[in-house]
Amino acid sequence: MLLKEVEVRRGVASWIGPLMGSAIGLGLMAVGAGTLYQALSEAQEQRRYPPPGTLADVGGHRLHYLDMGKGGPTVILDSGLGCSMLDWCYIQPEVARFTRVCAYDRAGYGWSEPGPKPRSAQRIVDELLTLLTRANIPGPYILVGHSLGGLHMQLFARQHPELVAGVVLVDASPFDQRQRVPGPARKKWLLQQLRWQLFCWSSPLLARLGIVRIQKRLQRPKTGPSRYPSTVQPIAEALRLRSSAFDWTLGEARAIERSEAELRAAPAFPLVPLIVLAAGNSSSGTLQQLWLQLQTEQAQLSPESSLRIINQSGHFIQINQPTSVIQAIRDIVVMYEHRHSDKCTTRRYGP
């Protein structure tokens, strides 16, 4: 009986080894195929969708920007975490009808090249200032920032008040939001943060293996209407699926605490017009109440400020309700014009 058991075990071992080898081989082939698919797709998309704007060197790497319109003050548009300048596709052409407006991609996003780390707010503000100087885009500026981009624009305004004509914060990230989450809502908030952190850490590898792209293709028939115009949607999707975009989303996410500390240490907010746009439908319950409270506090940074709650919008106000952002920018342009004579209106300030 014992001999028979030994023979059976030997027989099982004789086919388990080759089976495991085959499984490993198939796994490696799948990884190789996914990686190749991702690389070929990115190369094809880069040829299909060239940069719509200009690339300017900011010290070892180049940033992409799109400059439109004439006049002043010049509007500068900064996107949220993981987003490209295409998030302003509804805003920039309309603003260009009444003043100059520049949208750009931070390092690693859109058509911009990767930059040095850490990707904190201070580095991003320094790179933006260098870009505006080398691209010959003079101030004064109306700084418009969405989400994390709002934190960047606020730091820019605090450090370079002489260059700023006004600020529009579009559902912008407060620098103390994590410390303010109340006890009853903290568990829900922590779970959201955990999911986000898992996504940030895993997505660069999954993107390089082609898994994110394949998943996106499989989900396409089930997805709802695009948030972008039909001409912009395929470009935006191609940019989002680039492996490097996930790398730099993680890089900025890891630097958020440092960015918040940099803003806390900065000088006071300048005496310039400030309009805060807050999404009325970005969350629910206690978290939504906290978000609106934080937006209200941001609106108190300047004595010349206003809070506008956009009730029919989620976090991406510039896409859900673009007219509210356009109007806020126009309002600050009008304020600036009313304060300056014809002589002062034509004066330009270099960064």
Burial category of 227 from C-beta neighbours within 10 Å (exposed 0-12, middle 13-18, buried 19 and up):
middle
Domains assigned to the chain: 54-181+249-345 (3.40.50.1820)
d(CA 166, CA 154): 10
Q: Say if pTM beats, i.e. exceeds, 0.95.
A: no
Buried b (16+ CB within 10 A) or exposed e, 317-330: bbbbbbebbbebbb
131 token code pair:
């870009």
d(CA 204, CA 249): 9
On whether the CB atoms of residues 299 and 246 are closer than 8 A, the answer is no
What pLDDT sits at residue 51?
Answer: 93
The secondary structure of the chain, three-state, reads CHHHHHHHHHHHHHHHHHHHHHHHHHHHHHHHHHHHHHHHHHHHHHHHCCCCCEEEECCCCEEEEEEECCCCCEEEEECCCCCCHHHHCCCHHHHCCCCCEEEECCCCCCCCCCCCCCCCHHHHHHHHHHHHHHCCCCECEEEEEECHHHHHHHHHHHHCHHHEEEEEEECCCCCCCHHHCCHHHHHHHHHHHHHHHHHHHHHHHHHHCCHHHHHHHHHHHHCCCCCCCCCCHHHHHHHHCCHHHHHHHHHHHHCHHHHHHHHHCCCCCCCCCEEEEEECCCCCHHHHHHHHHHHHHHCCCCCCEEEEEECCCCCCHHHHCHHHHHHHHHHHHHHHHHHCCHHHHCCCECC
Consecutive 10-residue averages of pLDDT for the chain (351 residues): 48 53 55 64 75 94 97 95 93 97 95 92 97 95 96 97 97 76 55 56 60 66 62 84 74 88 95 95 74 90 93 91 97 90 47 56
Determine the residue type at 271.
L
CA dihedral in degrees (160, 162, 166, 169; nearest 10)? 10
What pLDDT sits at residue 178?
Answer: 62
334 token code pair:
């009008």
Tokens 């086919």 — which residue?
A: 15
Buried b (16+ CB within 10 A) or exposed e, 174-201: bbeeeeebeeebeeebeeeeeeeeeebe
238 token code pair:
């191609």
What pLDDT sits at residue 17?
Answer: 54
312 token code pair:
């029919």
Which is it for strands 74-78 and 141-146: parallel, antiparallel or unpaired? parallel
On whether the CB atoms of residues 98 and 330 are closer than 8 A, the answer is yes
Partners of 307 in the beta sheet?
276
C-alpha 159 chain-centroid distance = 22
d(CA 207, CA 49): 19
Prior bond of 73 cis (ω within 30°): yes
Compute the radius of gyration of the chain from its Cα atoms. 24
What pLDDT sits at residue 284?
Answer: 61
